Structure 1
Amino acid sequence: MAIEKAENQGNNMKLVLAFSGGLDTSYCVKYLSEQGYEVHSVIVNTGGFSKEELDEIAQKAEMLEVKQHSTIDETDNFYQKCLRFLIYGNVLRNNTYPLSVSAERVFQAIAIVEHAKAIGAKFIAHGSTGAGNDQVRFDLIFSILAPDISIITPIRDQRLSRQEEVAYLQAKGVDVNWEKAKYSINKGLWGTSVGGQETLTSNQSLPEEAYPSQLEEKSPKSVKLKFEEGELKGIDSQGFSNPVEAILKLQELAAPYAIGRDIHVGDTIIGIKGRVGFEAAAPLIIIKAHHLLEKHTLAKWQQYWKEQLANWYGMMLHEGQYLDPVMRDMEAFMEHSQKRVTGTVEVKLLPYRFELIGIESKYDLMASKYGQYGEMNLAWSGEDVKGFTKIFSNQNKIYHAYNDGEN
């Protein structure tokens, strides 16, 4: 679909562009400006960016001659309204991916809509392709929260390849490093996704240099993660009033070990299979450590039903359905389940991997006075177990007695 030039749309040419400083959004700035739009770029930081990186992105926007560039920090809001529930639920899509990009896109979209309303923009643009999930996430949030603002998507509408975008920008005098542009990198508090030519195949892995963090530390290191009601509040002797700071600290400790790399294969919102590489040292360690602590402190059916809800919650979030009211219901369940998820988990950091050593908690149900698994029963007798087993087997005994032993 051709993008109608802004002068044909009336006097209001103000457009807010979701800007990352990468190839796609750089193309969008130049192309949309050429079409007559007044481009206001905005980057929404959901964590993971340093001040220097944000300054560099702002400088790039200025170099591309946007009308105005803004940086919006949503990190704490993102944690409070989303990430803590992903931790409570131990959410890993297809048991692999910590929803690094899926989660943050929703909050970026909400912040962009609010910014567009604040400056009176008539248009919102994003640089998503027509073959991925982000296009649906952005469009969905924009259309729900701002149905009167038009959505512009140059990359999707023109079906551009990355090489075509590079050629266009170079023709406009913008210096683009093709080797760097080969990989699409999205960085956030909950991990960094990496897409490239290898992830378009079913059999190739990403090269070492494609990942943002390289192996720098080889000596094993043990760290103790302290959880309070399901939230990471301490690392070793250091306490954190804000869990975001704890996540960033753990990432700083674990990233030099090149921990948390993998390639996720999953079903996209639009119905095709997709692969994406990612690097998420702190998220994977936190989720696995939290899950271990829950195994010791939650009751059997708490764990079972929370696992069902968390899987559903992750699916809904992945598909951009954060604004559905059922999400608040699931969050209430998960938050209530964390009342006794308090304790310390020891983790050993090693090159490319980590090990969970064990936990200490005053709510540890394993450290009970009732018995030790496989060793000693203190609250029942052998006769009690015989009677229990006899009654427990009744239903299947009756079934097999009347079905000739068939399963």
Structure 2
Amino acid sequence: MSRSSYKKVVLAYSGGLDTSVILKWLEEVYGCEVIAFCADLGQGEDLKAIKKKAQSLGVKKVYVEDLREVFVKDHVFPMLRGNAIYEGSYLLGTSIARPLIARRQIEIAADEGAEAVCHGATGKGNDQVRFELTYMALHPQIKIIAPWREWTMRSRRELIEYAEKHGIPVTATKAKPYSMDMNLFHTSYEGGILEDPWKAPPEEIFVMSVSPERAPNKAREVEIEYVAGNPVAVDGKKMSPAALLAHLNKLGGEHGVGRVDLVENRYVGMKSRGVYETPGGTILHAAHRGLESLTMDREVLHLRDSLIPRYAELIYYGYWYAPEREMLQVALDEAQRDVTGTVRVKLYKGTCTVVGRKSPRSLYRLDMATFEEDDVYRQKDAEGFIRLNALRLAIRAQRKKRSTR
């Protein structure tokens, strides 16, 4: 299918520099009708203004949809049930948002009879993979336009110049060209002034949290209630998934919780420096693990933990709709059946510490674990247990002794 045969294209539109330039570029290069789709994932922007901006650039049809509850319930919470962390630090806030945006693009394309979908991800990053794997998993025949892999512009500085030339209003400047992505789960920053991994991120870039140094001198304790691995209430108050996450973002942000500065390995092969804020997610991750320690069988816990790196990697790479991720999700969710109870965490100057946990499904037995006198555990049994487990070590040592004679 040639460029001229595209009559309609659905663009994942954020209103930022890249996608605003892409709107004009698609009209110039493809001569097609552009349908803009903006997902409200809790980025805190004026979505009415974003819609008006798209219309001012010539777009006749703009979809603006509130997907916050869907995002948290069907994407963030399943990911948190699996304790997904990429390379030990990154809670995958950008990674988990892309499959949802891409899925809605495909659905809108089907409703509108569009031949193609378009995204604003660069040819160097992970997002292009996340978008396009989702497109192909859900609609293998759809055509994909990736402007960063087609146009001659090579940097965001050139995009700014293009925008100025065509009268496109943008907030990025040549003096401050770093990229920012925000949703209800996190905010990420990369590029521009952050590309030197030796330089600390400037304090003024952060939007969700205060620095730990400026956080209150008094700690704040918070109780989070879980049912089958999902948080359902904070300090005794039931909340919807999106409302609960937003509330914990506020509490965590006030205490400087959730900042990460990471040099990560992108799927396309290069290393990249990213700075992240995930206050509510950091609290939920710590609380969830605290409750699991009380309620999960040892071998189930250990086996599940061995799956976490692979599970996190699948999400980071963009395989949310791949069969292996879906298979792992079933196993991870099965392990969450008894993860029900309440966790108390303490927030203090950038830290989140579990200080209490209780559960009706607890496996913790005080009468077993106590160092005081008990009538349920025969300490003498430990001797045989140790001897049997040490048998292979003893045989190996005897062999070694014979070989040295």
Q: TM-score, normalised by structure 2?
A: 0.91
Alpha-carbon shift at residue 181 of structure 1 (Å):
5.7
2:271 is equivalent to residue 273 of structure 1: yes
Q: 2:197 aligns with which of 194, 202, 205?
A: 202
* Aligned pairs, number: 396
Residue pair 2:176, 2:193 contacting (<8 A) in 1 also: no
Q: 1:393 aligns with which of 390, 393, 405?
A: 390
Q: Distance in 1 between matches of 2:28 and 2:60?
A: 13
Residue pair 2:43, 2:183 contacting (<8 A) in 1 also: yes
Q: Distance in 1 between matches of 2:91 and 2:221?
A: 23
Q: How does 1:172-321 map to 2 (within 5 A)?
A: 172-177=166-171, 178=173, 182-215=177-210, 218=216, 219-240=218-239, 242-321=240-319
Alpha-carbon shift at residue 333 of structure 1 (Å):
1.4
Residue pair 2:343, 2:357 contacting (<8 A) in 1 also: yes
**Amino acid paired to 2:56:** M
Q: Distance in 1 between matches of 2:165 and 2:9?
A: 24
**Amino acid paired to 2:20:** S
Residue pair 1:130, 1:156 contacting (<8 A) in 2 also: yes
**Amino acid paired to 2:104:** A
Alpha-carbon shift at residue 277 of structure 1 (Å):
1.1
Alpha-carbon shift at residue 393 of structure 1 (Å):
1.2
Q: Match for residue 32 of structure 1? A: 26
Residue pair 1:289, 1:356 contacting (<8 A) in 2 also: yes
Q: Distance in 2 between matches of 1:62 and 1:121?
A: 19
Q: Match for residue 350 of structure 1? A: 348
Q: TM-score, normalised by structure 1?
A: 0.90
Runs of 4+ in 1 over 6 A off after TM superposition: none
Residue pair 1:198, 1:205 contacting (<8 A) in 2 also: no
Q: Distance in 1 between matches of 2:372 and 2:310?
A: 38
Q: 2:13 aligns with which of 12, 19, 31?
A: 19
Q: 2:331 aligns with which of 330, 333, 356?
A: 333
Q: Distance in 1 between matches of 2:190 and 2:323?
A: 32
More off after superposition, 324-333 vs 76-85: 76-85
Give 3-state SS (helix, strand or coil) of 1:102's partner: coil
Q: Distance in 1 between matches of 2:137 and 2:386?
A: 56
Q: Distance in 2 between matches of 1:338 and 1:289?
A: 14
Quickly say closer, same or farther: Cα 1:256–1:63, change in 2 above 3 A.
Answer: farther
**Amino acid paired to 1:204:** K
Q: Distance in 2 between matches of 1:207 and 1:186?
A: 17
2:128 is equivalent to residue 131 of structure 1: no
Residue pair 1:33, 1:39 contacting (<8 A) in 2 also: yes
Q: What whole-Å deviation, never above 9, does each CA across 1:94-139 have from its counterpart, x for those lacking one?
A: 1101110111111111111111111111221111111100111112
2:377 is equivalent to residue 380 of structure 1: yes
Alpha-carbon shift at residue 81 of structure 1 (Å):
3.3
2:80 is equivalent to residue 87 of structure 1: yes
CA RMSD of aligned residues (A): 2.3
Unaligned runs of 5+ in 2: none
2:69 is equivalent to residue 76 of structure 1: yes
Q: What whole-Å deviation, never above 9, does each CA across 1:218-264 have from its counterpart, x for those lacking one?
A: 24321111111111111112112x32321122112222333211123
Q: Distance in 2 between matches of 1:377 and 1:404?
A: 42
